[in-house]
Structure 1
């Protein structure tokens, strides 16, 4: 499971300005990465969504690639659940490892590592949307 490290992205609740926030686990569907942010004071929930917009090879792993081809990059940007180098997805005991998702107000980054070919890469995301999921205490106001 990935962790979320927010530098300035919703540091305070958009409704009550509380900094007592809980970041829920990341959800990756196709090329959209999202997570919920719960305010522990007003009980509101917002969903923050980022779109994958670039991938950069960090280490080449076993196949000695220097960089990703245009085809590898395009394929990964459409479906980032597998290794952009060797296309490994997962087997019974192993899957792609992702690090902490670091984000600010407009963008985010996360490193992925393939256990099959030992390549690592940097995913770059742009803020897509912030959606109100639950108004919490404000729903009755």
Structure 2
């Protein structure tokens, strides 16, 4: 993705007491993010194809990332088939940031029905935006 991608707006949900365990991650610094693609480990394992980030379906490419709504990816099936979490994207290349990310305790979700189509079940998704090092 060389041109600025489009995606869906997600909202961050944080600890009500204001505790930040993200070590300054995007979910601590922003209220919203833009989901621009999916990294599907399960599909890569089943098909034997290389693991690559895929853009969202055409109908879900609506909003551009902004300075106040950074780009993120949905990672699926990394540790188990039902594993799902959000990771930051590199804001210049629009690819998943290659660093090791871990959950900082926050979640992301949207009331947009197109997000529910991507992830049936209606559950908020963990945000892996804590990086040490």
Q: Which one has the bigger strand percentage?
A: 1
Is the shorter-chain TM-score for this pair beyond 0.5, marking a shared fold? no
